[in-house]
Amino acid sequence: MNFIVAKDLRERLQRGEHIVLLDVREIEELTGPLGHLPEIKHVPLGDLPVRISELNDHKAGPIVTICKMGGRATRAAEFLQQAGFKNICVLEGGMNGWQESGLPVESARV
């Protein structure tokens, strides 16, 4: 499993790379002060075992797991790797790190 810093992820997204942004926070966190990244796939960590089939089309990746600070995203990445997913990264520092880098967020869940 790898980690990616916010600015590197932003650059890859701006280049048009297709990356699944898997936000594993709870729904109320998406509408909170940290917001969320555009075009996320939202699956709370606790739901991941029963909803993993929603990600089967992305088994080869890349997938970046996201949470508030990185802990839940790391657990999600470990779970996905054990399930056979290949190209998984964790957003280092989570949404806190993203905002500390001064990068834009969406504040309302679409």
Class of residue 22 by CB neighbours under 10 A (exposed 0-12, middle 13-18, buried 19+): buried
By annotation, the residues acting in catalysis are 67
Q: Rounded distance, CA 73 to CA 56, Å?
A: 18
- Alpha helices of the chain — where are they, by DSSP H? 6-14, 27-30, 48-51, 71-82, 94-100
Query: Which SS3 state, helix, strand or coil, does residue 96 take?
Result: helix
